[in-house]
Structure 1
Amino acid sequence: MSSLQRDAAAFKNTLQSVNTKTWHSSQASSSQAPLPPPSTPAPEAPSQEHNGKKKKRPKTNIVYSQPADTGTGTDVNTQLLYAVNHLKSSAGPMRLQDIAIITGTPLDTDAVLLEKFKAHDRVEHDPKTNLYSFRHDFSFRNKAALLTEIQRATRRGGGLSVRTLKESWKEAPAAIEELEKDNEVYVTRTLKDGQMRMVFWNEVKPDRVDLEAVGEGGQKGFLVETEFNDLWHKLKVPNDVDLLKELASEGLQATAAEQVVPKAPAKKKGKKSGARNRPAKLTNTHLRDMGIDLSKDYVAPGK
Structure 2
Amino acid sequence: MSQLNDQVKSFKKSLNANTMLGVKRVATGTTTKQDDRSNKGPNATIANNTRRAFDGDKRKKPKKTSVYSQPADTGSGTHAMSQLYTVIQFLKDSDGPQSVVSITSRTKVNITKNQALWDKLASNNKIDFDPVNQTFCYKPTFQIKSQDDLLTLLISMKDSGGMDYKDLKDSYSKLGDVVEDLAGEGQILVVRNKDGNPRVLFYNDPEQNTHMDKEFKTMWSDIKIPDETDLPKELENAGLKTMDVFEKKVVAEPKVKRAKTRNKKIKITNTHLSHIDLSKDYVPKK
TM-score relative to the length of structure 1: 0.47
Flag the structure with more relative contact order, 1 or 2, with Cα contacts below 8 A and sequence separation at least 6: 2
Q: Normalized per residue, which structure has more helix?
A: 2
